[in-house]
Structures are given as C-alpha cells and as structure tokens.
Amino acid sequence: MCDNPDGPGVADGGGTIVAVRLDGAVVVITGAGSGVGRSTAQECARRGARVVVFDRDGDRAAATAATIGDAAVAVTGDVTSTADLEAARDAALTRFGPVDVVMNNVAVLDVGRVEDIPLEAWQRAIEINLLSIVRSNLVFLPDLLARGSGHVVNTASTAGLLPYGQDRLPYTTTKHAVVGLTEALFLQLRPQGVGVSLFCPAGMRTNIVEQMTFHGERTTPKGPAFAIVEPEFAAGLVCDAIETDRFLVLTDDSVPAEMRALADDPDAYLRRSLDGTGADR
Ligand SMILES: NC(=O)c1ccc[n+]([C@@H]2O[C@H](COP(=O)([O-])OP(=O)(O)OC[C@H]3O[C@@H](n4cnc5c(N)ncnc54)[C@H](O)[C@@H]3O)[C@@H](O)[C@H]2O)c1
C-alpha cells in the first residue's frame, strides 16, 4: 500500500485534490526501458516514488529498474495489449499499492511520402500512438477516479502542435490526436480530482530512431528547428508538471511563439514552412 498516509494528493486553493506529490506515489511509465521514459522513471524514484517500468523490451525494462533498485519493478509488455497493461497495474498493486500516476509514452514513426506509407503502417501507428492511450485509460482510470486523485501524463510531441512533420504523416496525425484527447481528458478528469499533463517535447537525445520505419525515398521535414535536450532535463519538467498540476510541458521556449504565429495566420505560417522556416523570429 501507499506509504504516504495522506495519499499523494495536494489540495489546491479550492479544496480540489489535483496535484500529486511524487514522494510516496506509485507511478507506471510505458516505454520506460529507454529515452525519456527511462529518465522519468529514474527522476520519479529520485523524488520518492515507486515505479513500474513497462516496456516491450524486457532487458531494457529490467536494466532501467536495476538502476532504481527496490523502488522499481520491471514489467515486459506491449502497449497494444490490454492484458499487458492490466499486468502492469496488478504488479504495481502487489508490490507498491494502487497506481497514482500513469505516463503513456510510447510511439512509432513512419517516415516517407504519403503515397509510400501503406495503410498497415497507419493502422499500426494508430494502435501504438493513440489507441494505447485509450487502452491505458480503460485500465487505469477507473481506480484513479474512484479514489478521486492521481495524475495522467500523455506524451505527444511538438509535431502534435505545429505543422512541421509532413514527412511522418501517421506520427503527426496521431500526435495531434493525442493533443486533442489529452485536452479533453483534462476537462473531464480534473474536476474529479485527477490531474492531466500533455508532454510535447521537441528534440531529445534518445533511441527514438529505433522506432522509425522508412518508406520509399528519404524526405526532410520542413519547419522550425528546435533545440535538442537531454532526456534527463525533460524528465525533470515532466515530474515538476505532475507535482504542480501543470498541463502543457514543452522542452523548447520558442514553441509558444510558433503556436501564436500559426494561430494568427495559418496560411502565412504554412507558406513560410514551405521555405523551411516557421514563425518570423
Ligand atoms: N526523442 C525525441 O526527439 C522526441 C520528440 C518528440 C516526442 N517524443 C516522444 O517521446 C516518447 C518516447 O520516445 P523516446 O524518444 O524516449 O524513444 P526511445 O526509443 O528512446 O524509447 C521508447 C521505448 O518504447 C519502447 N516501446 C516501443 N514500442 C513499444 C510497445 N508497443 N509497447 C511497449 N514499449 C514499447 C521501446 O522498447 C523503447 O524502450 C514517444 O512518444 C515519442 O514520440 C520524442
């Protein structure tokens, strides 16, 4: 059970339980065998959380859990399997107690021209990038809602906020869907005491290239060039967002200006993007 006798929630000014203290919380992170999932698992543990490290690569999940020690358990599973996500929930319950925080963090990228990306690649991207979150919601949210506390982090991308990923259409499309889903979840869950964060990193130094499948001729994305950050830095931002009940998590400060420029004049923004630039800055 949770060591924290008061539960992980922190009351806000209105008395609603919204923010989660990671000290004593039980956290499940998908794709935690590598990259930002791994760094977030480690940062959560550093802040006193117990962590379920979920990854389809069992060796990597075990390796991440080993860096944390007794405060982590590795679960080998695929985000496209409801049974595997239930196994993560049950492992948390058995080892640590009910789940307080879920980070849905897995995605694949299909790169190529629209005519070269087969339907099957789209279906796989929708399964892994989008429906995995729907599955996770069905597995984890009933308990969070019953307890009226907790936090969900969905990893999207700046490619879900801005139109620059034209060479990776299934990724761009599903990440935009994750943005919409997560905004709607915020509106639905927060009044019931469950916080929601939308994590939209730009570039991070991870193993993401392993999740890429190239179709046909190589193409290059057009748009703004964002800073590439270390996953440890991004993990700190995610953990801060959980503990302060912050919705949008960005890794590059220039993204809001790009979003404003897009909203101000989408036509002009897209035309500038054809030239390889985003906002006038
Ligand atoms: N790295 C970047 O520049 C960047 C930028 C924007 C968004 N993101 C997003 O960050 C998230 C994490 O990516 P990362 O960069 O840390 O990548 P990564 O490749 O380093 O880590 C991804 C992990 O997910 C696991 N995984 C893949 N498919 C899985 C499945 N079906 N079920 C369970 N586990 C699975 C892999 O084994 C791997 O350990 C993704 O959603 C990605 O879209 C990354």
60 within domain boundaries = yes
Cα(195) to ligand 1 centroid in Å equals 23
pLDDT tens, residue by residue, 32-88: 999 999 999 999 999 999 999 999 999 999 999 999 999 999 999 999 999 999 999
Q: Which residues line ligand 1 (CB under 6 A)?
A: 30-31, 33-37, 55-57, 60, 78-80, 105-107, 128, 155, 157, 201, 203-204, 206-208, 210-211
- Ordered DSSP codes for 205-222: -SSGGGGEEE-SS-----
Task: Answer for the pair 52, 38: CB distance below 8 angstroms, yes or no.
Answer: no
Q: Which domain holds residue 75?
A: 9-254
3-state secondary structure of 52: strand
1 within domain boundaries = no
pLDDT band at 218 (very low <50, low <70, confident <90, very high): confident
Beta strands 195-200 and 212-214, pairing class = unpaired
Q: What is the CATH number of the domain that holds 41?
A: 3.40.50.720
Query: Which stretches within the chain are classed as H helix?
Result: 35-46, 58-68, 82-95, 119-125, 132-147, 169-189, 231-244, 255-264, 266-274
193 within domain boundaries = yes
Cα(279) to ligand 1 centroid in Å equals 28
On the question of pLDDT at 276 being above 70, the answer is: no
260 within domain boundaries = no
Burial 8-21 (b: 16+ CB within 10 A, else e): bbbeeeeebbbbbb
pTM of the model: 0.94
270 within domain boundaries = no
Q: Find residue 112's DSSP bridge partners.
A: none
Q: How many domains is the chain partitioned into structurally?
A: 1
Count CA atoms within 13 Å of residue 216 on its CB side: 14
Fill in the amino acid letter for 177. A
